Amino acid sequence: MAEASYNPFAMAQAQFDRAAAALNLDQATRDLLRLPIREYQFSIAVHMDDGTVKIFRGFRVQHNDARGPGKGGIRFHPQETVDTVRALAMWMTWKCAVVDIPLGGSKGGVVCDPHGLSAREEEQICRGWVRQMARNVGPDLDVPAPDVMTSAQHMLWMLDEFETIHGHKGPGFITGKPVGMGGSLGRTEATGYGVIYTLREALKELGIQTASTTASVQGFGNVAQYAIRLYQQLGGKVISVSCWSQKDQTSYCYRKKTGIDSDALLGIADRFGEIDKGKAQNLGYEILPGEAWLEQDVEILIPAALENQITGENVNRISRRVVLIAEGANGPTTPEADRVIGERSIFVIPDFLANAGGVTCSYFEQVQSNMNYYWEKDEVLEKLDTKMTSAFHAVSELARKRELFMRDAAYYIAITRVAQACKDRGWT
Ligand code: NAD
């Protein structure tokens, strides 16, 4: 039982089953939505710099495309599994539905560790992934994007391969591209900023001034960095961040009780969001074990690293002072931990709502790419704020009206929209 809750796909299915039962969804729709519609698994051969050939395993899972083309990132991670990708694809379906953008849910991945790869080797993985998937992805089918350990550069290599195979330009095939090469201004900030737009609204509802709050963050990558930036701009104080140490194969938490200096930390972090431990020590940071991020005496926790981080085993270490958890990462909280958090009446902004800013901006990027007309950054961020704010209020209003947890309310809205699309199309 405990083990099943640590399998992200079992966890995503358990969350879905709970909501489907409460919504009284018919059996055919349940059977359709608890599994991906299509999935692909394949091998990618890479000629390594040392002359050997290495085979990497790649995935693309298309969970549901009733509301529009699939949408979802591609992760590079050594512990990637098809079940993680399945869970993430399913969460993408709910994410696009909860912010009401006309896209479905997909996700991709490659089992690899970019820490040990040269740029040339990474480029071959990107091109190899596209060669395997070229007929089953595209602007009207399924649109990839960056995720953990993939960047704008990876997206551009993938786009280039896709266009070479198809013999025409197709910038709408992929999002998260570099600005100037079809990318949207604001995309880099979008997920982290989106987390804070929803957090800002939640604090308003709770009657708490952002400037009076402190936060502890797990992760220091794309999502965490921009979430921290905007939260600090709104007056909040981040007292600790944690990240992975590749050399020590463990995570550390960097704490400064007077508040972290995110620019200084950015200056000593690498492209994977790993902070240099020695340099952080010189800057006066306390260095604690990675899990310490969870036990800090703060009002707000922002998990923004990976799935399965707040579990039945560590949930009771959350400080009594915590009033809000904004889930920047996908699937950071297991169902066991969720129950305890609910009993303690901690306000949760669930992952597929909190971190939907990335896909929302990706959707804006796709629209701009298809028109070949690009908006100013302020316009992008304003549209993003509007979309995130209205999605947040739709969920919180339902939660209040029906006395639901925020996660359940978000599921009800998202699943209802997707189920309706399946019905309208005559699928179920
Ligand atoms: P990233 O690769 O840029 O950063 C990940 C960060 O997490 C790094 O700082 C890394 O050191 C840290 N980390 C990894 N393992 C850790 C551990 N055990 N303990 C503490 N820190 C650890 O990734 P990202 O793009 O910021 O994504 C973070 C999460 O947000 C993921 O769950 C991802 O799926 C989700 N997400 C990302 C986006 C996006 O647009 N980038 C959109 C939606 C959701």
The active-site residue, picked from 71, 95, 107, 387, is: 107
Q: Binning pLDDT at 50, 70 and 90, where does residue 370 land?
A: confident
* Long-range contacts, stretch 163-168, CB < 8 angstroms, 24+ apart: 165/130, 165/131, 165/134, 166/134, 166/138
Distance 311 CA to ligand 1 centre (A): 17
Give every CB contact of residue 420 below 8 A, 6+ residues apart in sequence: none
Distance 348 CA to ligand 1 centre (A): 19
Strand spans (E) along 53-119? 53-64, 70-77, 105-111
Cα 337 to Cα 316: distance, rounded to the nearest angstrom: 9
For this structure, is 256 an active site residue?
Answer: no
Q: Given the structure tokens 């359940």, which residue do they identify?
A: 408
Amino acid at site 238: V
Region of residue 426 (left: phi > 0; alpha: psi -120 to 50; beta: else)? left
Residues with CB under 6 A from ligand 1: 147-149, 191, 218-224, 242-244, 251, 273-274, 290, 304-306, 328-330, 355, 358
Distance set, CA 166 to CA 42, 145, 157 (Å): 20, 19, 14
Average pLDDT over residues 263-281: 97
Q: Residue 302's pLDDT is what?
A: 98
Q: Residue 356's pLDDT is what?
A: 98
Alpha-carbon dihedral of residues 76, 78, 83, 89, nearest 10 degrees? Answer: -10
Beta pairing class for 142-146 and 70-77: parallel
Q: Given the structure tokens 């804006």, which residue do they identify?
A: 364
Cα 40 to Cα 120: distance, rounded to the nearest angstrom: 25
Candidates 17, 3, 15; CA nearest to 338 is 15
Q: Given the structure tokens 């707000």, which residue do they identify?
A: 300
Identify the H or E element spanning 407.
helix 406-424
Cα 145 to Cα 225: distance, rounded to the nearest angstrom: 18
> In the structure encoding, which two tokens stand for residue 31, read together?
């059977």
Other Cβ atoms within 10 Å of 181 Cβ, number: 13
Contact 105, 93 (CB under 8 A): yes
pTM of the model: 0.95
Q: Residue 6's pLDDT is what?
A: 73
Q: Which atom of ligand 1 is nearest to the CA of 243?
A: 21
Amino acid at site 159: L
Q: Binning pLDDT at 50, 70 and 90, where does residue 123 land?
A: very high
**Partners of 245 in beta bridges:** 250
Give every CB contact of residue 101 below 8 A, 6+ residues apart in sequence: 68, 359, 360, 363, 387
Distance 302 CA to ligand 1 centre (A): 11
3-state secondary structure of 42: strand
Does residue 1 register a pLDDT over 50? no
3-state secondary structure of 384: helix
Q: Binning pLDDT at 50, 70 and 90, where does residue 109 land?
A: very high
Average pLDDT over residues 369-398: 96
Beta pairing class for 347-349 and 324-326: parallel
Distance 306 CA to ligand 1 centre (A): 6
Q: Which atom of ligand 1 is nearest to the CA of 332?
A: 32
Give every CB contact of residue 322 below 8 A, 6+ residues apart in sequence: 298, 299, 300, 301, 346
Furthest C-alpha separation in the chain: 63
Average pLDDT over residues 248-257: 97
Average pLDDT, the chain: 96
**Angle at alpha carbon of residue 309, lines to 263 and 229, rounded to 5°:** 20
